[in-house]
Amino acid sequence: MKVADHSWLIQQAERFVKQVHAGEASGHDWWHIDRVRNTALDIAAKENADRTVCELAALLHDVADEKLNASKEAGLEKVRAWLTEQAADEDLTGKVMDIIANMSYNGGKNPPMTTLEGQVVQDADRLDAIGAIGIARTFAYSGAKGRIIHDPELSLDDLAQEDYRSAGKTAIYHFYEKLLKLKSLMNTPYARELAEQRHAFMEQYLQQFYREWGSRNP
């Protein structure tokens, strides 16, 4: 009975989340959520994590995103209210809320996830930020913000300064600020394995990018 209940809850979550993320074109569309869910389930199988917790948390992980809500707290409240409405059991609700409240990147400054399921979902979200898909999302996000692709006259040090044209940081800078750091932040061994290949692809991509541009690496 419990299993059947959860599959119904997962279906409801899909419907809810599709509607929340409808029309979001800056990297948080439904297909990001779907990929994170699938990757989370793959990692969960290898690492023996609880599949229901991972799948539900993956589906709901960006509903509370600050970009889609007045504040992070308001976003988290929206998720909790939804889970309560579905009569999800308290234990499951607590576990899912704990994951989505704590998994964001935040410059790599958040404390490590304490549960295996949290580690799995965080890894799945981070994997979607690297590799070919991560590259696509970066340019989509940057374009949506009206930022340029690259500026060969700015060094990484220039761009790293917090206030330096902060509205104008380039898409390429995002690789150095975040994407290339994600591989070593993976929590689980299987995600680390998946990250290796995606990371190598980004390095290759950057080399080719600079080659075509005719400039040195920054």
State how far the alpha carbon of 175 is from the alpha carbons of 28, 63, 128, 203, in Å. Answer: 18, 25, 14, 9
Which x/- pattern over 117-156 shows residues binding Ni ion (rule: CB under 5 A)? --------x-------------------------------
Separation CA 107–CA 109 (nearest Å): 5
Separation CA 164–CA 36 (nearest Å): 33
Indicate whether 174 belongs to the interface with ligand ADP (CB under 6 A). yes
> Which of the stretches 12-20, 56-64, 98-106, 138-146 binds Ni ion when contact is defined by CB under 5 A?
56-64
Q: Which of 64, 129, 186, 202 binds ligand ADP (CB under 6 A)?
A: 129
Q: How far is the CB of 4 from ligand ADP (least distance, A)?
A: 30
Separation CA 216–CA 15 (nearest Å): 47
Q: How far is the CB of 39 from ligand ADP (least distance, A)?
A: 12
The residue (of 137 and 183) whose beta carbon lies closer to ligand ADP is: 137
Residues 31-70 that bind ligand ADP (CB under 6 A): 62
Residue 190 tokens read as 């299987």
Of the candidates 141, 136, 61, the one whose C-alpha atom is nearest the C-alpha of residue 101 is 61
> Which of the stretches 75-83, 93-101, 157-165, 170-178 binds ligand ADP when contact is defined by CB under 6 A?
170-178
Separation CA 160–CA 139 (nearest Å): 19
> Which of the stretches 83-91, 94-102, 130-138, 200-208 binds ligand ADP when contact is defined by CB under 6 A?
130-138
Residues 6+ apart with CB under 8 A from 60: 13, 17, 79, 82, 96, 100
DSSP string, 197-210: HHHHHHHHHHHHHH
Of the candidates 87, 86, 83, the one whose C-alpha atom is nearest the C-alpha of residue 98 is 83
> Which of the stretches 39-47, 106-114, 153-161, 169-177 binds ligand ADP when contact is defined by CB under 6 A?
169-177
Indicate whether 175 belongs to the interface with ligand ADP (CB under 6 A). no
137 interface partner picked from Ni ion, ligand ADP, none, CB below 5 to 8 A per type = ligand ADP
The residue (of 47 and 62) whose beta carbon lies closer to Ni ion is: 62
Residues 6+ apart with CB under 8 A from 217: 206, 207, 210
- Site of interaction with ligand ADP (CB under 6 A): 27-28, 62, 104-105, 125, 129, 134, 137-138, 141-142, 169, 171, 174, 178
- Site of interaction with Ni ion (CB under 5 A): 62, 125
